[in-house]
Every structure is written in C-alpha cells, then in structure tokens.
Chains A and B, each alone.
Chain A
Amino acid sequence: MTAIAEDDRPSSLWRDAWKRLRRNRLAVIGLFIIAILVIVAAFGPWMSPYDFLSQNLDARNQPPSGLHWLGTDDLGRDVLSRLIYGARTAFLVAVGVTVAAVLIGVVLGAIAGFYGGAFDRFVMWFTDMTMSVPQLLLVVVINASLKQPISLWMEARYMETLNPIWRNSAIIDFVLVFGSMALITWPPYARLVRAQVLSVRGRPYVTAARALGLTNRIILMRYVLPNAMGPLIVAVSAGLGTAMVLESAFSFLGVGVTPPTPSWGNMISDGLRVWTNYPHLLLAPAAVLAVVTVAFNFLGDGLNDALNPKGQK
C-alpha cells in the first residue's frame, strides 16, 4: 500500500543541514553551551547571587566557598556574579563586533567580487593594507586617538542636555571597542565573500539569470549571495569566539572595556596580576572564556560539515 503524503512542504537545504547538525555531537555540545551563554547574557542580572558592583571590603580575595561559589576579588566582589554579568559584555562585544565586521565584509566583498574592475582592485588593496598593520597596534592607535575627543564631545553633550546618558563611560567603551575591533576584523570576511562570489558568479545558473534579462542587482542579491553564504556562516560562528578572545586581549592591554564594567577580559587581566596568590581569580574567567570559544569553534565545524553534505560521504 502506498502512503499518501498530503503535505509537500519543500525540504530546504537548511532544514537538511539542521538535521545533519543535530547528529554531530560536538556541534550540539557547542550549541548547548552557546545557548546557556545567551540565556545568562539575557537574564544574568536576575540570576546572579550578588550585585556585580557591590563591594565587600571585609571579604576580599576569598577562595571559593558556600557563600561565594567562586570566591571574591580584591575588592570583595562576588566572582560568579561578575562572570555572569561579564557574559553580557562578552556576548554584546562578540555579536556587535561580528555583525559590524560582517556587514563591512559582505558589502565590500560582494561588490568587489561581482563587479570586479577598479573597485575590486581598490578593495583588495585596502584589505591587504588593513591586514598588514599589526592588529593590536591599530587598536591602540584608534583608542588613543579617539578616546579623548569622544569623551570631550560627550561631556559637551552632557553639559548641553544634562542627560546622564552622556556621562555613561560604558557607552564610550562599547563604541570604541566595537568600532576598533570591527575595523580590524572585517578583512577576512571581505576576502571570503569575494572569493565565494567570484566562484558563484561563474556558475551556470548565474548565466541563466543573465539570459533571463535580470538586472545585476537582482542577480547579485537573489542568485549569487544566497549561494555564497555557506562558508560565511561557518566563519561567523568561529569569528564570534575570536571576537571574545580579542576583547580579552584588549582588556589585558587596557584598551578594552574599562572597569568597573565586568568583562571576562579585564577579569583575566586583573587575575593575572595576583594569580600566584589567588589563582581562582584567573582560572574562573579564563576557563569560561576557553569553554565558550571552543563551543563556537565546535559549532563552526559542525556547520561546515552540515552545509557540505557531499564532503561527509
């Protein structure tokens, strides 16, 4: 007897990819950890046992205990609470930086790859330039040269409006950190997208779209880009992890998110100064960062396999 299938909903490549992803244990673990990160980032303030800022100078540098599961830092702040709040920073930085970098990369890479010519040469030159400058140097320079003017400008706005938002130093931090990190992380995305677009541009279905008389814009948006995005998704997943590490590195150099806003990076850099005496202050944030970064990489690898079904067989 033949089963009657009434529902002919199309099976999309994405749904198939999702099925394959679910079968990949590491990728599922990665996804799980990332899900926890997202939840913690979203609801952290309601979950953390203490306020991340509240200092308890009587209980400084305490080792892990029943009261403070991960101990306290040199100002007596609860490490677990700071980690939880730091998840929000880490997540914001990772997503913000990556979104900005990917946007720059996709726009430049797609246009360069699709149209070629002088613009392409310019973009490639610009990409090479950006990549050849040492990243940290660039960030330090950007920070050093922009922090002052931006603070002054914000102070002026405050004087004008008396709106306290202009005095929130966290905003300067985020803008600067996002901006400068996006400015150094876009080139790989641009290169990747350009290479993909170049190869997709030559596919027969693009020629077919041309034969239909469609405009370049439609061909780029509907025929080229959707088919060029697979590897980008993989790169983005890994890039999110990288952005978190980068933020920590910057905090370590003192150009990241400034204390007291907790970020895993500045917790690590604080912890590093005292780690011989109070190793938990270093280990806790370092471990969390490592786990999350690895999770993103697992997910990236899993996506890579899931999106390339042929490579699995």
Chain B
Amino acid sequence: MTAPLIEIAGLSKRFDLRVGAFGERSATVHALDDFTATVIEGETLSLVGESGCGKSTTGFCLLNLHRPTGGSVRYRGQEIAGLDEDAMRPLRRELQIVFQDPYSTLNPRMTIGEALAEPILFHGLATKADLPARVTRLLADVGLTPRFANRYPHELSGGQRQRVAIARALACEPRFIVCDEAISALDVSVQAQILNLLLDLQEKYGLTYLFIAHDLAVVRHISDRVGVMYLGRLAELAPAGALFSQPMHPYTRALLSAVPEPDPKSARSRQRLQGEVPSPLNPPQGCRFHTRCPIARDACRSAVPAWREVATGHHVACHAVSAPDKLNWEGTE
C-alpha cells in the first residue's frame, strides 16, 4: 500500500492579471509555488490552509485542468503535467474531481439523471439497460431518492447539488478523486454518511483521495496524511496523527489553535494571527509566513526555508524547525 500513485515535483502555477484602474498594469498571482509531494495509492491526503492559498489550484493542476506553469506530475510513472487534452482524455475517467462550487459545475440544461448518465455511458461503465439501476444506486449512495434523477440543478438545495457532484465523480469509477470542499454544504449527519461512503469505497476499491477541506475535525477523521499550505507553498506535511498532536510549523500551530470547538463556553477565546495578510499578487520574500509569524527572524525575511524531513514522513519548511520537539529559537522578538 505504499506505492506512489502520483508524484508531484516542483509544481507551480501563476496567473497573469491586468490591474490598475484601466487594466494598464499587469500583475502575477503566485497561486502555487514549488509544490512537491507524493500521493500514495490507497491513502487520503488532505490539504488545508488559508482561503486563497492555492488548494483548489493544486487540484486543478494535478488533473491538468489548469496547465501548470512549471513542475511535473507523474501518474503511475507517466508524466501528465502539460499533456494536451487529447492525450489526457484516456486518463480522465480514473482521475476525478468534485468541484468546490457544485452549482456552477452542473449543466443547467441537463437533469440530474442525464448528468450522471453521461460519464457512465461515455466510458461504457454500464449498458443502456443497466443505466437506470446504476443511476439510482449512485443517488442512493449519496442519500438522494431516485426521483431526483428527473430534476434540474436549479431545483435542488445547496447540499443536494453537492451530493450530485460527488455522485457524478463516483459515476466514473475513478482511482483517484480530488474532493475540493466536497462536503462543506452538508449537514453533519449527511456529512458523516458521505465520509463513511468514501471510507467504504477506499477499503473496497483502494481509492485514493486528495481531500481539500477547512473543517479540521473532518480532516483529522478521514486523513492518513495532511499537508498544510500557506500562500501557495507547502508549509508542513505529516501523518495526520503527528500533525495534530505535534504541529511544528508556526502557521500550523496558529491554524490548529483557531479551531472552534462545538461548545459555546470555550469558543469565545481563540488566538488570532496578527500582522498583515500578504497578497499572492505580491508574496513576501523569504518565508512567506514571516509577516505574521510570531517567531520570525531576519533569516526568515531573506531566505526561503528549505523543505526538510524532520521526522519520519514529517516535512516542514521553517528555519526555526530542524528537529521534532524543539525550536531552534523561541519567539522572543
């Protein structure tokens, strides 16, 4: 179970924009920079991080839905970064994504049934005769009754649409799914049902997930490993247990301390990150976190911290961390 499914090396993505009152200046969004990680077959790798830090961009670039600006993505040894659409198509069925915004990714002129049937028929995953049963089964898996097959996306509630998006990805019988905030619009009971479904499928078919989420309790629950991103870069990547029990990067620690508890009494006292939030249009030099890091030093402002493995499988990019359990310096400044 330790064979790499996807090897990502130095993946980066920049978007060029026009800014200024008349669009006279150009600017570059550094959405993703030098992302290096390996996705192991059959695991759940989660990505967490601040809104806008490049999680969705990572998912899009992995699947070549955005053409990466640089770096490589190898799926089972085959380079796929920058493949053209025709070359990519045979792989698409195996590599699926549940998009963050389900409503806009459903064709408004297709019923839910048609939307689910499309990939099934196209990829020959069921015969015409088996199709209704297959669609019904998919809908049932995500907790929807067969009658939803006749509805249009605009006739569904937010959570129902999100479940349709999940069902559509599952319809392809993929090997790898990017779940981009795939359960964020679901109530906790349905959420539990979907998480259980994902775990069942993983057990049965060895599915691999890249799970993008902001709900850290869910992440903790479902992940084998967790990557923490900050402003387009990976800050920390570790087995889930280690990350939550022994966070090392200052950003991870700040993030974990901000987790609200489902308890009205404890909720009111939370630590906030201070300092200016930098923009990916103009990311800081050196460590990208230094503008808000409580223990930043001069070195942090000039040099990009190296991506180091400080304990088995525990990678951190921070000047202050070179061994578990110990900071090279304390936050005195």
User: Of the candidates A8, A208, A213, A218, which one forms a contact with B150 in the assembled complex, judged by CB atoms under 8 Å apart?
Assistant: A8
The answer to the question of B139 belonging to the interface, with a C-beta cut-off of 8 Å to chain A, is: no
User: Of the candidates A8, A211, A213, A222, which one forms a contact with B110 in the assembled complex, judged by CB atoms under 8 Å apart?
Assistant: A222
The answer to the question of A199 belonging to the interface, with a C-beta cut-off of 8 Å to chain B, is: no
A-B contact count (CB 8 A): 75
A205 & B106 in contact (Cβ 8 Å cutoff): yes
A211 & B107 in contact (Cβ 8 Å cutoff): no
A213 & B119 in contact (Cβ 8 Å cutoff): yes
**Shortest Cβ distance from A216 into B: residue:** B85
Which stretch (A10-18, A100-108, A121-129, A263-271) binds chain B?
A10-18
User: Of the candidates A10, A11, A204, A216, which one forms a contact with B105 in the assembled complex, judged by CB atoms under 8 Å apart?
Assistant: A204
The answer to the question of A207 belonging to the interface, with a C-beta cut-off of 8 Å to chain B, is: yes
- Those of B194-232 within 8 Å (CB) of chain A: none
**Shortest Cβ distance from B152 into A: residue:** A10
| CB-defined contacts of A218 to chain B, threshold 8 Å | 122
**Shortest Cβ distance from B63 into A: residue:** A211
The answer to the question of A254 belonging to the interface, with a C-beta cut-off of 8 Å to chain B, is: no
- Complex-state Cα separation, A36 to B110, whole angstroms: 34
- Those of B55-92 within 8 Å (CB) of chain A: 63, 65, 85, 89-92
| CB-defined contacts of B326 to chain A, threshold 8 Å | none
**Please, how many residues of chain B have a CB less than 8 angstroms from a CB on the other chain?**
31
User: Of the candidates B96, B104, B151, which one forms a contact with A211 in the assembled complex, judged by CB atoms under 8 Å apart?
Assistant: B96
The answer to the question of B253 belonging to the interface, with a C-beta cut-off of 8 Å to chain A, is: no
The answer to the question of A212 belonging to the interface, with a C-beta cut-off of 8 Å to chain B, is: yes
**Shortest Cβ distance from B101 into A: residue:** A204
| CB-defined contacts of A211 to chain B, threshold 8 Å | 63, 65, 92, 96-97, 99
Please tell me the size bucket of the interface on A. Answer: 20 to 34
Q: Which of B65, B105, B107, B119 has the most CB of A within 10 A?
A: B107
**Shortest Cβ distance from B147 into A: residue:** A8
Would A11 and B152 be within 8 Å (CB), given that A204-B104, A213-B89 are in contact? yes
Would A210 and B85 be within 8 Å (CB), given that A12-B152, A203-B104 are in contact? yes
B99 & A204 in contact (Cβ 8 Å cutoff): yes
User: Of the candidates A10, A210, A213, A223, which one forms a contact with B107 in the assembled complex, judged by CB atoms under 8 Å apart?
Assistant: A223
- Complex-state Cα separation, A8 to B111, whole angstroms: 12
**Shortest Cβ distance from B89 into A: residue:** A213
| CB-defined contacts of B152 to chain A, threshold 8 Å | 10-13
- Complex-state Cα separation, A8 to B156, whole angstroms: 13
- Complex-state Cα separation, A200 to B122, whole angstroms: 22
Would A213 and B92 be within 8 Å (CB), given that A204-B105, A205-B106, A207-B105 are in contact? yes
- Complex-state Cα separation, A215 to B123, whole angstroms: 11
Q: Tell me the smallest distance from the CB of B203 to a CB of chain A, in Å.
A: 25
| CB-defined contacts of B249 to chain A, threshold 8 Å | none
The answer to the question of A260 belonging to the interface, with a C-beta cut-off of 8 Å to chain B, is: no
| CB-defined contacts of A208 to chain B, threshold 8 Å | 99, 105-106, 168
**Shortest Cβ distance from B60 into A: residue:** A207
- Complex-state Cα separation, A189 to B216, whole angstroms: 52
- Complex-state Cα separation, A185 to B172, whole angstroms: 44
- Those of A4-61 within 8 Å (CB) of chain B: 8-13
User: Of the candidates A9, A210, A212, A226, which one forms a contact with B118 in the assembled complex, judged by CB atoms under 8 Å apart?
Assistant: A212
B111 & A213 in contact (Cβ 8 Å cutoff): no
B107 & A205 in contact (Cβ 8 Å cutoff): yes
A10 & B151 in contact (Cβ 8 Å cutoff): yes
**Shortest Cβ distance from B110 into A: residue:** A222
| CB-defined contacts of A171 to chain B, threshold 8 Å | none
| CB-defined contacts of A227 to chain B, threshold 8 Å | 107-109
**Shortest Cβ distance from A12 into B: residue:** B152
The answer to the question of B93 belonging to the interface, with a C-beta cut-off of 8 Å to chain A, is: yes
- Complex-state Cα separation, A187 to B85, whole angstroms: 30
**Shortest Cβ distance from B66 into A: residue:** A207
The answer to the question of A290 belonging to the interface, with a C-beta cut-off of 8 Å to chain B, is: no
- Complex-state Cα separation, A11 to B109, whole angstroms: 11
Q: Which of A8, A9, A205, A216 has the most CB of B within 10 A?
A: A205
- Complex-state Cα separation, A159 to B105, whole angstroms: 62
The answer to the question of B155 belonging to the interface, with a C-beta cut-off of 8 Å to chain A, is: yes
Q: Tell me the smallest distance from the CB of B79 to a CB of chain A, in Å.
A: 18
Q: Which residues of B are interface residues toward A (Cβ below 8 A)? A: 63, 65, 85, 89-93, 96-97, 99, 101, 104-111, 118-119, 122-123, 147, 150-152, 155, 168, 172
Further contacts, 20 of them, CB under 8 A, given A9-B150, A212-B168, A222-B110: A10-B150, A13-B108, A203-B104, A204-B99, A205-B104, A205-B106, A208-B106, A208-B168, A210-B65, A211-B96, A211-B99, A212-B96, A212-B122, A213-B89, A213-B93, A213-B172, A216-B85, A218-B122, A226-B109, A227-B108
